[in-house]
Amino acid sequence: DQQVKQNSPSLSVQEGRISILNCDYTNSMFDYFLWYKKYPAEGPTFLISISSIKDKNEDGRFTVFLNKSAKHLSLHIVPSQPGDSAVYFCAASAGSNDYKLSFGAGTTVTVRA
């Protein structure tokens, strides 16, 4: 069963505007959340993460928000750039001794010029 869900398979946004990607999880043991970005024919690359003790983490144009009570997180990209066009995966891990990541199905972002 999918413990991490990304319900929007695709998102199209105009260059310069904000991209908002959503992710929901079901496992209450998850305490660390990551976003990975993937270009075609390449492996996923780490983008940004957040611990369950925080509700926001910001890194340049990327901000991740966590709502633990709703088991929901989102990634905001602002302003969106053409190079941001990629597949974005939400991932989660449970506990300091659990090293396997559970991934969502991904959201394909297309930034239009």
Which residues are at the interface with another protein (CB under 8 A)?
4, 6, 31-32, 34, 36, 41-46, 49, 51, 89, 91, 93, 95-96, 98-106
Nearer to another protein, 79 or 103 (CB): 103
Whose CA is closest to 84, among 23, 31, 39, 27? 39
Nearer to another protein, 13 or 106 (CB): 106
Nearer to another protein, 3 or 85 (CB): 3
Give the CA distances from residue 112 to residues 8, 12, 18, 38, 83, in Å, rounded to whole numbers and listed in that order: 18, 7, 12, 18, 10
